[in-house]
Amino acid sequence: MKKLLLKACLVLMVYLPDVGWSQETPTVTSVEILDMRNLQGLFPEAKTFQRVSESMALIRHFFQKELFAVKPDSSFANEAAAVIVGGVTPRNLVFEIMGVESYLADSILFSVNVYYQFSKSPLKLFQGFVKIGVDTKTRRVIFPLYNRDYVSVSYPNIIFYVREAERAAYLCNMERSERFLSGMLRNISSQYPVFIRPSKKLRYIIGDGYFKGLEYYNFYNYFITSRFIKDDYTIIDVIAAGYYRHELIHYILSGYPFNNFLNEGLATLLSGGEARQGNSVEADWKTFQAQIAADKVYANALDNADSLLTGWYKPEMYSVSALLLYRYKKKVGVTEFYKTLFEKLLLTSEVESLQFLKTALGIKQISGWMKSTDAAVWQKISSE
């Protein structure tokens, strides 16, 4: 049922005073449900229909009673509206629920269009796309909002955003991230003196994937993953508690438009083998080897560049790219490695960069090479 699109829409219109660009505290005048049709037809199974209906009811209650409830003694509604539309307070917000993005045992994620108005004009401006989730176990709505419990902790290369109550607990990891980042910038620059450093300071947000933290940023959704957002030079970290080297590498290399194959391989290699937080790359490699030996279809898929480079084989692609890059670095030396990356491979396609590395290393079949490569090599990568 993943990405099931609802042809029916539930539209929530949030009316705010016509404050335009002023800093006045708005007061919500009403929240109106404009349309909801054919939900039963889209979800004929009774239990599914009930869960979706209850989740929508929770979202309606959230808007009416929590997010935009009248709070004369604070500017909470103003802040919430400003975060949603990017820094200014509109008069009206419209949330148009378009579909079910994912339907899981303990959560439902809705895809939502956002519109806003700054005057009484009927014209609506399309702001963007958000995802609003409902944790069906705890009956909590997960929504894009920066919680004011957060404080900033600044270092020379990074500014962290973390809950005040958790700052001490995450201090060690924050300091480790700063040391790793500054060290990598020095190391790469020493090997490639014209290296282009990131043009903006990194913002690193430590959250937990729920409403009490900062779960979304600029209309990205984060339930169980962490990500670097290049447009904003921001890391959202909901799983690594402030020290996620893989995402730090993405930031370090953000001045270079590498294709995804190289980008993820470099982040995995230069982070010491971080491909999936909480998973051992060495253990994953052994799993890949066992499946190659047992499943010819799987082996053939890894040998086919088109299938290897698709999202179906993401863990394999990350690891293959990282290990090919590692072998190439060992063959040509660190200085030549970075020179080739930044001057020759930078603008190649995924298929071209994969073929370049295979040719340079004399590899004919990825599956055979993977099967014959000792998984212990990942211990060497992690120690370098």
Are the CB atoms for 371 and 293 separated by under 8 Å? yes
| For range 343-372, the mean pLDDT | 94
What are the φ/ψ torsions at residue 121 (nearest 5 degrees)?
Answer: -60, 145
Q: How many CA atoms does the CB half-sphere of 69 hold within 13 Å?
A: 9
Structure tokens at 34: 């404009």
How far, in Å, CA of 62 to CA of 64, rounded? 6
Answer whether residue 210 shows pLDDT above 70: no
Q: How many CA atoms does the CB half-sphere of 85 hold within 13 Å?
A: 25
Are the CB atoms for 92 and 16 separated by under 8 Å? yes
In this prediction, residue 137 carries a pLDDT of: 82
In this prediction, residue 345 carries a pLDDT of: 95
| For range 196-200, the mean pLDDT | 93
Give the strands of the sheet with 202-206, arranged side by side.
150-154, 158-163, 202-206, 234-237, 227-229
User: Percent of the chain beyond pLDDT 70?
Assistant: 68
pLDDT band for 214, please (50, 70, 90 cuts). Answer: very low
Q: Kindly report, residue by residue over 51-105, the tens digit of the pLDDT.
A: 888 888 888 777 766 665 544 444 555 555 555 554 445 456 666 777 777 788 7
Highest mean pLDDT among 148-162, 184-198, 286-300, 301-315: 184-198
Residue 43: CB atoms within 10 A of its CB come to 20
| For range 294-317, the mean pLDDT | 87
Angle between helices 245-252 and 167-191 (to 10 degrees): 40
Answer whether residue 146 shows pLDDT above 60: no
In this prediction, residue 143 carries a pLDDT of: 64
CA distances from 19 to 28, 89, 126 (A): 12, 7, 19
| For range 345-365, the mean pLDDT | 95
Are the CB atoms for 353 and 344 separated by under 8 Å? no
3-state secondary structure of 184: helix
The letter for the amino acid at 207 is: G
73-87, 250-264, 331-345, 352-366: least confident range: 73-87
| For range 207-211, the mean pLDDT | 50
Quote the strand ranges of the chain, DSSP E. Answer: 4-15, 30-33, 92-103, 107-117, 125-135, 140-142, 150-154, 158-163, 202-206, 227-229, 234-237
Q: Kindly report, residue by residue over 131-143, the tens digit of the pLDDT.
A: 677 888 888 777 6
